[in-house]
Amino acid sequence: MRRAVFPGSFDPITLGHYDIIERGLTLFDEIIIAIGINADKKYMFSLEERKEFIEQSFKGESKIKVMTYKGLTVDFCKKQKANFILRGLRNPADFEFEKAIAHTNRKMSEIETVFLLTSSGKSYISSSIVRDVIRNGGDVTGLVPETVKVK
């Protein structure tokens, strides 16, 4: 079975994330959307809200699991028997950052990182931009799945 982990904080999930996950479903038998828990990070949405947004976005998709984890992504992958990490790339800066992480992960394990380019119409979307739009009372339609409920 080709099982991939798609890790992130998903604060909140965006249409860019959604795009990568949907396209990843054609490559993998199962994708675990793994919400990382970082006690040092201040989130806009609670862990429960983020998990609910994702579960509702992929409701009925049997090839998707949503889980949370702490610690190293490669350790989580090993526990889940996942041989791949799925990552999305929006721009050259993302590539440089993700390449360093992928090389480190490969040094620590046999897990391969698979990169997908975000679709051109979604490459500008990031969770940090979405959070800024929300903080300033803007409309996030077209940036996040409909399941994301803004406070």
Active site residues: 17, 41, 90, 127
Q: With helix as H, strand as E and coil as C, how does the chain read? A: CCEEEEEECCCCCCHHHHHHHHHHCCCCCEEEEEEECCCCCCCCCCHHHHHHHHHHHCCCCCCEEEEEECCCHHHHHHHCCCCEEEEEECCHHHHHHHHHHHHHHHHHCCCEEEEEECCHHHCCCCHHHHHHHHHCCCCCECCECCCCCCC
What is the C-alpha to C-alpha distance for residues 67 and 18, in angstroms, rounded to an integer? Answer: 16
What is the C-alpha to C-alpha distance for residues 61 and 89, in angstroms, rounded to an integer? Answer: 24
